[in-house]
Amino acid sequence: MNILEKISQVQNSFSKSERKVADVIIASPETAIHSSIAALAKAADVSEPTVNRFCRRLETKGFPDFKLHLAQTIANGTPYVSRHVDVDDGPDAYSAKIFESIMAALDDARKSLDIVKVNKAVDYLTQAKHISFFGLGSSSSVAHDAQYKFFRFNIPVSCFDDVLMQRINCINANDSHVIVIISHTGRTKSLVEIANIARSNDAIVIGITSEDSPLAQASNLVLSMDVPEDTDMYMPMASRIAQLALIDILATGFTLRRGDKFMQNLKRVKDGLKDSRYEK
Amino acid sequence: MNILEKISQVQNSFSKSERKVADVIIASPETAIHSSIAALAKAADVSEPTVNRFCRRLETKGFPDFKLHLAQTIANGTPYVSRHVDVDDGPDAYSAKIFESIMAALDDARKSLDIVKVNKAVDYLTQAKHISFFGLGSSSSVAHDAQYKFFRFNIPVSCFDDVLMQRINCINANDSHVIVIISHTGRTKSLVEIANIARSNDAIVIGITSEDSPLAQASNLVLSMDVPEDTDMYMPMASRIAQLALIDILATGFTLRRGDKFMQNLKRVKDGLKDSRYEK
DNA sequence: TAACAATATGAAATTAAATTTCAGTGACAT
DNA sequence: ATGTCACTGAAATTTAATTTCATATTGTTA
């Protein structure tokens, strides 16, 4: 892949003229990629076919293809391969690793998300007379975020991170309620119990949780994402970011379902917040 | 430098045919760099001159030069490109776009984050006798998440999303307090006022906010990230996810600074939570 | 809504670039 | 000395990219 390394590897099999080409390229790859074959030939004091033969020897299709490879090689520094934070990582190393592992997790989450179920969830949410978001611990901040988002839509929405309040909310629920329960593991006892109470009152329970977990079994609809949880630090990191992304998706689906007029309403909300801010 | 990002930036100035070219390239940059202008034109169902004009609009010398830029961009795998959600996108389309936008934003955030400042923030946090996290609206869920994370460290940490509580907390602050204020815009009046109160009591104020904002000016240390905020939906999306990533980074830095014994403590906390969960 | 202006688009012509062909050169062996 | 073989570049060829220009489309004004 790295064409410059390859040049130095096959150095011995080069002819005298080809060596000249190699030298010019190694001396200034940046110049080489912006040169025509004629310019490069002149710089190396060889003929154009020699440059072309040089390129082919590197197993490229020809000069333009060679330039492409060279461009990729000099594009940028090496990315971190190991995603796990190491005890003697410096700030730059662990920062990069965390960003990368989050992005990798989001990529996995995207691939594993069932779009049909997302659409179904949006169906439920748009038809709901009342929406509640529940979460505990780390997931409670996701629930708060969801509440904040849906609150902008000017629909009745609640968020509870208190098991008693959650329970009361479920006891009073009915078939026009949608309860969204967020739990990465799906094994938190109280949340499973609460889901069952809601179900017994004909409320719709959407679980943002792991497939096949007790909470998943207690939900009407499960939105699950495969996220490799980083056990390094013994705390949830990537999972809740994937959950937030899912909340964004649900909110977006909700908005799109409601149409254009609704979006203008969102804009109005945003504009209305201006007074609480300093002017730019 | 990132030509794909540039394509999405100048998207609106494209003509209908140029947009077609953009779509084909974004859909498969890998294919694009190995295509001739004729092949690409055919794939996008436009003429060759259109492709050429498209390249020039991106401030490249022409098609071959464009390919060079593109090759450099995708050198380390296909990067994430933020695309705007369209009113007639289906669930699969908007889901994919949201995931990609978030990842693109994280990528930008990573590049723009000042690691020296991160390290300085970790310094402050490790030396603090008390840490408070403040946020309002969307940022309040980030503050909650931060509190939850640092609470596991078994250090005095608070989180307030109520302006009065925040104010009281700052009035009582002293030089052993670190106040982390989270605000994407950095223009929320009450938060700026609160920052000034904390500063007047010699507390350390860390602002997770925009560079050069009023809040940034009122902070001892500013952690800023360039995140292209999606104005599509008129609500914060990418910015708060970048903030969460930053919280993870700070928590990780904190953990690493405390050493091995401390990590075992985190494990103990995690194990201690088992009783509240169903067994696997 | 007609008429115009501005812009966008692609066919064809042109230009530029890369590749192939082929003949000349020199190194080495016989 | 001369034949062989690999190396090299001039010239021809092929391929690709760019420019030109005529036509179509869109938007704007009367």
CB half-sphere exposure, B12, CA atoms < 13 A: 3
The CATH number that domain B3-77 falls under is 1.10.10.10
- Separation of alpha carbons B96 and B101, rounded Å: 9
- Separation of alpha carbons B227 and B44, rounded Å: 31
A118 confidence band (pLDDT: 50, 70, 90) = very high
Class of domain B114-273: alpha beta
Report residue A267 as tokens: 């804009």
Chain A environment of B89 (Cβ under 8 Å)? 256
Listed in sequence order, the DSSP H helices in chain B are: 3-9, 16-27, 29-33, 37-44, 48-57, 63-73, 91-112, 115-127, 138-151, 163-171, 189-200, 214-218, 238-258, 260-272
**Three-class DSSP category at A173:** coil
- In angstroms, the CA of A48 and the C1' of D17 are apart by 19
A277 confidence band (pLDDT: 50, 70, 90) = low
Strand pairing class (B130-135; B177-182): parallel
**Pairs across A and B, CB distance < 8 A:** 202
The minimal CB distance from A189 to the residues B33, B116, B276 is found for B276
Q: By C-alpha distance, which of A141, A193, A59, A126 is closest to B141? A: A141
User: What tens digit of pLDDT does each residue of A214-266 get?
Assistant: 999 999 999 999 877 654 555 667 888 899 999 999 998 988 887 666 666 65
Q: By C-alpha distance, which of A148, A94, A101 is closest to A273? A: A148
What average pLDDT does range B148-159 have in this prediction? Answer: 87
Strand partners, B208: B182, B223
Residues near A124 by beta carbon (within 8 Å), at least 6 away in sequence:
A178, A204, A206, A220, A221
User: What tens digit of pLDDT does each residue of B175-214 get?
Assistant: 999 999 999 888 888 999 999 999 999 999 999 998 989 9
The minimal CB distance from A106 to the residues B65, B102, B118 is found for B102
Q: Measured from the CB, is B189 under 7 Å from any atom of strand D?
A: no
- Separation of alpha carbons B92 and A115, rounded Å: 6
Q: By C-alpha distance, which of A167, A177, A153, A169 is closest to A265? A: A153
Domain with CATH 1.10.10.10 in chain A: 3-73
- According to the model, what pLDDT value does residue A153 have? 79
- According to the model, what pLDDT value does residue B243 have? 93
**In what side-by-side order are the strands of the sheet with B130-135?**
B157-160, B130-135, B177-182, B204-208, B221-223
Strand pairing class (B177-182; A130-135): unpaired
pLDDT of A96 over the 60 cut: yes
Nucleotide closest in space to A45 (CA vs C1'): D9
3-state SS, A73-108, equals: HCCCCCCCCCCCCCCCCCHHHHHHHHHHHHHHHHHH
Domain with CATH 3.40.50.10490 in chain A: 114-276
Choose from A69-73, A87-91, A234-238, B217-221 the range with maximum mean pLDDT. Answer: B217-221
Decide if A188 and B276 are in contact by the 8 Å CB cutoff: yes
Domain with CATH 1.10.10.10 in chain B: 3-77
Any idea which architecture A114-276 has in CATH?
3-Layer(aba) Sandwich (3.40)
Q: In this structure, which CATH number among 3.10.310.40, 3.40.50.11540, 2.30.30.30, 1.10.10.10 belongs to the domain A3-73?
A: 1.10.10.10
- According to the model, what pLDDT value does residue A130 have? 94
Domain with CATH 3.40.50.10490 in chain B: 114-273
